[in-house]
């Protein structure tokens, strides 16, 4: 029996991007339902009481599974479709990938996205006015602090959580790629992180993200450039 899979997501939502990368890396086909989450659609709230993206719906014959938000979806995919694993068998690296995933969804989201994406993206989506310069500066400073940590990790590791590609890389790449859409990642000052990002950008799983466009928001020149 084939599973009929639908992902409810918003193209420039970092949490949604993590899940798209995982689905694509695992070569699990899915259809897409784009959600304008800031308009609080009732159809989305009926699936996820928090009204947030991403939501994965899998229909397998008569049974339907609804999985809401990045943490639950990534663990579900790993348990159900373990081919092309995104968590290491090594317990320390497995824990590290999950730590990174939570770190990006909580710390990075609050300290960087809460400023940069709020000012540059959400204000435009909701008609909330022009970006506030103080908030943009606070977001850029926090981004540099986080990039420094990533740069140090990549000095001693092949991928962010250790030897193999994991959900930790996808968490980081999902967040950075949205900020990169708006041209705000200072790649030049973080060469190891740039090299790591180029490796990810060249993978087939990444391609759909590079073709994402949203009305009224033109991506930065190098957004889909593999050699930037």
Binding site for its own copies (CB under 8 A): 48-50, 65-73, 75-76, 80, 91-92, 94-96, 98-99, 101-103, 105-107, 109-110, 149
Compute the least distance from the CB of residue 202 to its own copies, in Å: 28
HSE, CB side, 13 Å, CA atoms: give it for residue 121: 25
Asked whether the beta carbons of 136 and 175 are under 8 A apart, the reply is no
Say how far apart CA 195 and CA 192 lie, in whole Å. 5
Q: Which is nearer to its own copies, 81 or 228 (CB)?
A: 81
The pair phi, psi for residue 201, each rounded to 5°, is -60, -30
Smallest gap from residue 68 Cβ to its own copies (A): 4
Minimum CB–partner distance for residue 101 and its own copies (Å): 7
For the CB of residue 218, give the shortest distance to its own copies in the complex, in Å: 30
H-only helix segments in the chain: 14-25, 42-47, 70-80, 91-103, 116-117, 123-126, 133-156, 167-181, 191-201, 207-210
Q: Which is nearer to its own copies, 26 or 76 (CB)?
A: 76
Our CB check for its own copies shows the closer of 106 and 218 to be: 106
Q: How far is 45 from 39, CA to CA, in rounded Å?
A: 11
Least distance in Å: CB of 102 to its own copies? 4
Nearer to its own copies, 101 or 177 (CB): 101
DSSP label at residue 55: E
Q: Which is nearer to its own copies, 161 or 165 (CB)?
A: 161
> What whole-number distance in Å separates Cα of residue 199 and Cα of residue 206?
10
Beta bridge partners of 60: 63
Q: Which is nearer to its own copies, 151 or 212 (CB)?
A: 151
- The nearest distance, CB 106 to its own copies, in angstroms, is 6
- Kindly give, in sequence order, each residue whose CB lies less than 8 Å from that of residue 17, ignoring residues fewer than 6 positions away: 11, 170, 173, 174, 177, 178, 209
Question: What residues contact residue 43 under an 8 Å CB cut-off, 6+ apart?
Answer: none
């Amino acid at each position: 029996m084939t599973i009929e899979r639908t992902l409810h997501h918003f193209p420039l939502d970092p949490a949604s991007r993590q899940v798209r990368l995982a689905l694509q890396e695992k070569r699990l086909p899915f259809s897409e339902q784009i959600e304008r989450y800031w308009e609080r659609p009732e159809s989305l709230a009926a699936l996820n009481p928090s009204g947030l993206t991403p939501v994965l719906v899998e229909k397998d014959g008569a049974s339907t599974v609804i999985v809401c938000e990045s943490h639950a979806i990534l663990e579900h995919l790993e348990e159900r479709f373990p081919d092309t694993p995104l968590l290491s068998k090594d317990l320390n690296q497995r824990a590290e990938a999950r730590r990174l995933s939570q770190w990006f969804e909580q710390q990075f989201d609050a300290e960087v996205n809460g400023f940069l994406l709020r000012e540059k993206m959400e204000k435009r989506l909701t008609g909330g006015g022009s970006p506030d310069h103080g908030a943009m500066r606070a977001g850029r400073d926090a981004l540099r602090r986080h990039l420094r940590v990533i740069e140090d990790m990549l000095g001693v590791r092949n991928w962010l959580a250790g030897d193999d590609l994991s959900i930790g890389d996808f968490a980081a790449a999902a967040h950075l790629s949205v900020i990169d859409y708006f041209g705000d990642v200072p790649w030049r000052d973080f060469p190891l992180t740039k090299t790591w990002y180029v490796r990810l950008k060249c993978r087939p799983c990444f391609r759909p993200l590079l073709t994402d466009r949203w009305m009224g928001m033109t991506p930065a020149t190098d957004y889909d450039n593999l050699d930037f």
